[in-house]
Amino acid sequence: MTAQGLPLLADVFPELTADILRLLDPEDKVLIEQIPALRYHGVCTCTPTCRNLLTAAQGSPTPYLCELTEHDEVVIWLSLDPTATVIVDIEILDGRDLGPAAQRT
């Protein structure tokens, strides 16, 4: 399946998407502008316990990390590609339940 055939992250996880937009630095326009177009590639399967939500093909390089904080606590990690401009996966650190779409099949 091509990325175009995948659902939008915002359609699968509207509350999470809204939180990411709210928590991103308003000056980080490169990341903010791509959020509406991010595709959901499923849950990462690199290890049995990984729960990252993929927004790029599995195995995409992720040398950079953007930490999103709320009340001085890191709640979300955005893994970025080598250019540090494309979100390739999302790790939820605050324990929220994302429902069945975030479960492995």
Q: Following DSSP, what letter does each residue of 23-36 receive, concatenated?
A: HS-TT-HHHHHHGG
Whether 89 has a pLDDT exceeding 60, the answer reads yes
Q: H or E stretch including 12? A: helix 9-12
Domain ranges of the chain: 3-102
Locate 45 and state its tokens.
């399967």
- Is pLDDT of 2 > 60? no
pLDDT for the residue numbered 8: 97
Tell me what the mean pLDDT of segment 68-84 comes to.
96
Q: Model confidence at 48, in pLDDT bands (50, 70, 90)? A: confident
Backbone dihedral angles phi then psi of residue 65, each to the nearest 5 degrees:
-135, 135
Say what the pTM is. Answer: 0.90
User: Once rounded to an integer, what is the mean pLDDT over residues 79-93?
Assistant: 95
> To the nearest whole percent, how much of the chain has pLDDT over 70?
95
Q: What distance in Å separates the CA atoms of residue 58 and residue 72, rounded to the nearest whole number?
A: 30
User: pLDDT band for position 49 (50/70/90)?
Assistant: confident
Q: Give residue 105's pLDDT.
A: 61
